[in-house]
Structure 1
Amino acid sequence: MEAMLARCPRYGCIQVADGLNNGEARWARTTVNVQDHMIVPKLDRATDPDKAVEDYVASLSTLPMDCSRPPWEFHFLDFPSSEAASTVAIRVHHAYGDGMSTLALLMMSTRSAAADTKSHPAAPPHRRPTRMGAIYAPQRPPLSMGTLAFVAWVLSYLVLAWNTAADIAYFAATIMFLSDQRTLFKRADDDGFHAKRFVHRSLSLDDVKFLKNSMNCTVNDVLVAVTSAALSRYYFRKSGEPNTTKICVRSLLPVNTRPATSLQTYVNVIESDMRNEVTWGNKLGYIILPFYLATHDDPLAYIRKAKKVLDRKKRSLEVIFTYKIAQIFMKVFGVKVGTSIFRCLFARTTIVFSNMVGPTEQVELCGHPVAFIAPSVYGIPEL
């Protein structure tokens, strides 16, 4: 843990407002007693260990973090559950970083579980990235493809501009007044600070890739489709509404805007002499992604619908503009005003939907094999 703090000094800091930064909070180094951040609760897990884990993790969402010390904690639940010999709940304040930087730090602390090596986990197989930054930029066709291909390329940029303008207008309308209808997924009081249940389920990545290849889509398309199907089944079972009803709820999709989209690349930068150049904090743009609650006789219809929606979102600069707008609001109006504006955005949508690429092989953390990693977030008025 001391080595991690040496490599990532921000995790040895607290936020203070002492007038040295125009009244805004700033990061200041402090003395870290690692034992204060290691918590081993005593729980009654005799009847149902899995429920004991879920209850304890849910209780953490109601407890404030101690701002007098760096806001991160390790909670060790040292008893077996159905999926692991023990569980570690890591609670980290989102001010430290987004999912990319936080997971990169965790991956930097792991080692490969292979018997012949204790190095860092292997990087994913190299392949040409679909996008180099936060957007999907259309490639200019070679001259040999003719005039029609060039015209189509020019038109793709016109479509990009139109979609971006429409998405930004929709984004602004959501901040100001446009809200999702009330469903059983949305609380009536829009209060983000209440107990939340953290439940995880494991899916076979091979099955996901099989569907991806069969439907000529992406892994994200399949995951969005699976989520849409699951929410639809849950909604119609719980609400009792007829299955012919079609409802649209919207999700807020955070997107990493860092140039290095590879998790392994980010880990390598942290460990190298260039770690001072690592951009901690939150570097996120946002997409408002519709989820359609409906029942289909053909389960693959969910994938077709998800692919259509996501393909449309890829032809837009919504991510870049929302990231820049967030930066401008924070700098011009301050953190409190910027935060309140984005709380309106969270409150007027229903779901926060995101995913992260994890290790590609079995890893160990402090000599213990990791069975699963289930990131989540609380403190926002959404599902």
Structure 2
Amino acid sequence: MGFPEGGADEPLTPAGRLFHQKDTVQVVHCAIGMKNPIDVDAVKASIESSVMLKHPRFRSLLVRDSRGLEHWRGTEVTVDNHFIVVDEPIAGAAAEDHEAAVNEYLADLSMTPEMSTDKPLWEIHVLRAHACVILRIHHSLGDGISLMSMFLAACRKADDPDALPAVPTRKRVSGEGRSLSLRESAAKLLQMVWFTIVFVVGFLMRSMWMKDLKSPISGGDGVELWPRKLATARFWLDDMKQAKRAVAGATINDVLFSILSMGLSRYLVGKEPSSTLAGLQMTGVAMVNLREQPGLHEFAKMSTDTIPARRWGNRFGITLLPLRYCKSGSDPVDHLREAKRMLDRRKNSLEAYFSYWIGDLVMSCFGAKLASVLNKRIICNTTFTISNVVGPQERIAYLGNPITYIRANSCALPHALTMHMVSYADRADLQILVAKDIIPDPDFLARCFEDALLEMKEAAAGIIQD
């Protein structure tokens, strides 16, 4: 995977090409809050010797050949050209409200998806007055899983400066590891085949004509150009763990989607008469990682010739996740049961893999432009985007400066509502990016989500006590 400066160009992967099309360009923003003032010179020196600059894609230019096909071409990196330092507080936000200021800055960044191609496609913004570093990285360089691993490889545990952070691995739920009888195995296989057929057909229909009914939170073609606002919903992981105990085998993802179901329903009540919302379906688009997360020790020991290419880049599928409006006063645990049922069916199918294979086939046979059109149609025919990236389990520090939060979002999509959750230590932060002319009050929506978790936690506590 590595190549020297001036050597042969490397073609972009199919997903990388997709992220450079006009209708599907994507840039990832990762905001990292620091406890102490930021030493910019120290950060620059750290970047120059970091794992990131050992990776060829972070020291390569995007070039196009005579046929318009994109390639990576190695180049020398001048770190100063990638730094944008903002010394003054962000205009328009209260000086003491650092969260609002950073969110305002990120909302503005989300409206500028194009990055200069005269240098490698990454930037580091330092908001000194708000003790925040923002990594701005083009999605063609890697997905959230890869970028999180690369970032964490440069950090250390806050209470042990020599130790790398730990990222939790997937745990088996109760009963998952037991051996199945022949009848159970056959039934599970038939279910997988059936759900795969149903969901893949639905996926194809979404890419052509089938769409969610119009609602107060719907976006559409052209909405990606509308001004944005950004708000943060904060969840305690202990609360989410308490809530999931109400339903056997439930996961944090199940709790997240039940929160979305309850929170969106509560938000819509004040926007439109409930009689017109009955039965409303709000379909989310979620990206599913199709490979293992790179190990932090691999990245920490990375050299130019030992890049774990097999585990880097963009390899993900799409799954469509329908939520339904539920009237006020409905049982929070019912939301959790319904979310678990919906996600279990998706997990017991090959929908995400088929979406990846379909996209790869379209890209290979018909080119990136058609693949981009089909992906944009899926966005326009659904209601929101959601992602969830698992971060470190314990407090960490960068250059000895403790990190107070890790949050992520991306540039604007035709959706009026885009959400990204990142967990860190004992908390999970959900970034809520909205088209402000459609959803003018994202802070209220964030409170709807936070209140939904508290209601679910209380209902779960009652069930557990009984």
Shorter-chain TM band: 0.7 to 0.9
Rate the CA distance shift 1:123–1:60 in 2: closer, same or farther, 3 A: closer
**Aligned amino acid, residue 52 of structure 1:** A
The structure in which a higher percent of residues are strand is 2
User: Match of 2:352?
Assistant: 319
Rate the CA distance shift 1:62–1:289 in 2: closer, same or farther, 3 A: same
Q: Deviations over 1:237-273 (max 9, x none)?
A: 2234349723111011110001x2xx4x532333346
**Aligned amino acid, residue 266 of structure 1:** G
CA drift of 1:333 comes to: 1.6
Could you tell me whether the CA contact under 8 Å between 2:124 and 2:134 is conserved in 1?
A: yes
Rate the CA distance shift 1:243–1:182 in 2: closer, same or farther, 3 A: closer
CA drift of 1:16 comes to: 0.6
For 2:241 and 2:141, how far apart are their aligned partners in 1? 33
User: Match of 1:39?
Assistant: 84
Rate the CA distance shift 1:194–1:215 in 2: closer, same or farther, 3 A: same
What are the ranges of 5 or more consecutive residues in structure 1 without an aligned counterpart?
Answer: 81-85, 131-136, 142-148
CA drift of 1:138 comes to: 9.3
User: Match of 1:121?
Assistant: 165
108, 111, 125: which is aligned to 1:62? 111
For 1:195 and 1:138, how far apart are their aligned partners in 2? 48
TM-score in terms of structure 1 length? 0.86
CA drift of 1:189 comes to: 4.2
Q: Deviations over 1:81-109 (max 9, x none)?
A: xxxxx222222111111111111111111
Could you tell me whether the CA contact under 8 Å between 1:38 and 1:75 is conserved in 2?
A: yes
Could you tell me whether the CA contact under 8 Å between 2:317 and 2:352 is conserved in 1?
A: yes
Could you tell me whether the CA contact under 8 Å between 1:198 and 1:376 is conserved in 2?
A: no
For 1:188 and 1:172, how far apart are their aligned partners in 2? 18
4, 23, 27: which is aligned to 2:72? 27
- Determine if the alignment matches structure 1 residue 76 to structure 2 residue 105: no
- Determine if the alignment matches structure 1 residue 309 to structure 2 residue 328: no
Q: Deviations over 1:304-357 (max 9, x none)?
A: 110111111122111111111111112222222212211111111111111011
CA drift of 1:195 comes to: 3.0
For 2:186 and 2:370, how far apart are their aligned partners in 1? 39
Question: What's the C-alpha RMSD, in Å, of the aligned pairs?
Answer: 2.4
**Aligned amino acid, residue 101 of structure 1:** S
76, 85, 90: which is aligned to 2:135? 90
4, 8, 13: which is aligned to 2:60? 13
Rate the CA distance shift 1:18–1:139 in 2: closer, same or farther, 3 A: farther
User: Match of 2:388?
Assistant: 355
Could you tell me whether the CA contact under 8 Å between 1:112 and 1:362 is conserved in 2?
A: yes
226, 233, 244: which is aligned to 2:266? 233
- Determine if the alignment matches structure 1 residue 204 to structure 2 residue 236: yes
- Determine if the alignment matches structure 1 residue 269 to structure 2 residue 298: yes
CA drift of 1:48 comes to: 5.5
What are the ranges of 5 or more consecutive residues in structure 2 without an aligned counterpart?
Answer: 1-46, 418-466
Could you tell me whether the CA contact under 8 Å between 2:109 and 2:411 is conserved in 1?
A: no
SS of the counterpart of 2:278?
coil
User: Match of 1:341?
Assistant: 374
For 2:147 and 2:53, how far apart are their aligned partners in 1? 15
SS of the counterpart of 1:249?
strand
Rate the CA distance shift 1:65–1:241 in 2: closer, same or farther, 3 A: same
TM-score in terms of structure 2 length? 0.72
CA drift of 1:277 comes to: 2.9
For 1:56 and 1:279, how far apart are their aligned partners in 2? 32
Rate the CA distance shift 1:170–1:163 in 2: closer, same or farther, 3 A: same
- Determine if the alignment matches structure 1 residue 280 to structure 2 residue 312: yes
SS of the counterpart of 1:214?
coil
Could you tell me whether the CA contact under 8 Å between 2:154 and 2:300 is conserved in 1?
A: no
Larger RCO: Structure 1 or Structure 2 (Cα < 8 Å, ≥ 6 residues apart)? 2
Matching of residues 93-104 of structure 1 within 5 Å? 93-104=138-149
- Determine if the alignment matches structure 1 residue 364 to structure 2 residue 397: yes
User: Match of 1:144?
Assistant: none
Fraction of identical pairs, as percent: 29
Could you tell me whether the CA contact under 8 Å between 2:219 and 2:380 is conserved in 1?
A: no
Rate the CA distance shift 1:170–1:334 in 2: closer, same or farther, 3 A: same
Rate the CA distance shift 1:139–1:77 in 2: closer, same or farther, 3 A: same
For 1:53 and 1:59, how far apart are their aligned partners in 2? 10
SS of the counterpart of 1:374?
strand
Could you tell me whether the CA contact under 8 Å between 1:196 and 1:378 is conserved in 2?
A: no
Could you tell me whether the CA contact under 8 Å between 1:138 and 1:156 is conserved in 2?
A: no
For 1:77 and 1:272, how far apart are their aligned partners in 2? 30
For 2:137 and 2:365, how far apart are their aligned partners in 1? 27
**Aligned amino acid, residue 117 of structure 1:** P
User: Match of 1:52?
Assistant: 101
Matching of residues 134-283 of structure 1 within 5 Å? 141=180, 149-216=181-248, 217-242=250-275, 245-258=278-291, 260=292, 263=293, 265-272=294-301, 274-283=306-315
SS of the counterpart of 1:101?
helix
SS of the counterpart of 1:200?
strand
Could you tell me whether the CA contact under 8 Å between 2:277 and 2:325 is conserved in 1?
A: no
Could you tell me whether the CA contact under 8 Å between 2:161 and 2:400 is conserved in 1?
A: no
Rate the CA distance shift 1:244–1:15 in 2: closer, same or farther, 3 A: closer
For 1:271 and 1:304, how far apart are their aligned partners in 2? 41
CA drift of 1:117 comes to: 3.5
For 1:32 and 1:167, how far apart are their aligned partners in 2? 45
CA drift of 1:77 comes to: 1.4
